[in-house]
Amino acid sequence: MKLTILGSGTSFGIPQIGCHCEVCTSTDARDRRTRVSALVEGDNGTRILIDTPPELRLQLVAAGIDSVNAVLYTHDHADHIQGIDDLRAMSLRFGRLPVYGAPDVLERLRHRFSYIFDDTVPATPGTPKPQLATVPLEHDVEVVVAGVPVRPIVLEHGPAQVYGYRIGNLGYITDAKAVPDRAIAVLRGVRVLVLNALFERPHPSHLSIPEAIDVARAVGAERTLLTHLTHRTGHAALEARLPQGVAPAYDGLIMDF
The answer to whether the CB of 40 falls within 8 A of the CB of 148 is yes
Provide the 3-class DSSP secondary structure of residue 178. Answer: coil
Per-residue pLDDT tens for 86-121? 999 999 888 899 999 999 999 999 999 999 999 888
Residue 139: CB atoms within 10 A of its CB come to 14
**Is 90 exceeded by the pLDDT of residue 161?**
yes
CA angle 165, 219, 199 (to 5 degrees): 80
**Taking the domain 2-256, which CATH number applies?**
3.60.15.10
Give the separation between CA 62 and CA 233, rounded to whole angstroms.
Answer: 24
122 band by pLDDT with thresholds 50, 70 and 90: confident
Query: Which residues 6+ apart lie within 8 Å of 67 measured at CB?
Result: 47, 90, 93, 94
Of 41, 53, 47, 42, the C-alpha closest to 7 is: 53
DSSP per-residue letters across 24-80: TT---GGG-BPBPEEEEE-TTS-EEEE---TTHHHHHHHHT----SEEE-S---HHH
**Is 90 exceeded by the pLDDT of residue 125?**
no
pLDDT confidence of residue 92? 85
> Backbone phi, then psi, for 203, in 5-degree steps?
-135, 145
Edge-to-edge strand order for the sheet containing 223-227? Answer: 143-145, 148-157, 160-167, 170-173, 192-196, 223-227, 246-248
Q: What's the mean per-residue pLDDT of the chain?
A: 96
For the chain, what are the domain ranges? Answer: 2-256
Give the separation between CA 229 and CA 249, rounded to whole angstroms.
Answer: 9
Per-residue pLDDT tens for 23-73? 999 999 999 999 999 999 999 899 999 999 999 999 999 999 999 999 999
- The secondary structure of residue 128, as a DSSP letter, is -
Strand spans (E) along the chain: 2-7, 37-41, 47-50, 70-72, 97-101, 132-136, 143-145, 148-157, 160-167, 170-173, 192-196, 223-227, 246-248, 254-256
pTM greater than 0.95 (yes/no): yes
- Report CA 10 to chain centroid distance, whole Å: 11
Helices (H), 188-255: 209-219, 235-241
Of 80, 31, 59, 40, the C-alpha closest to 254 is: 40
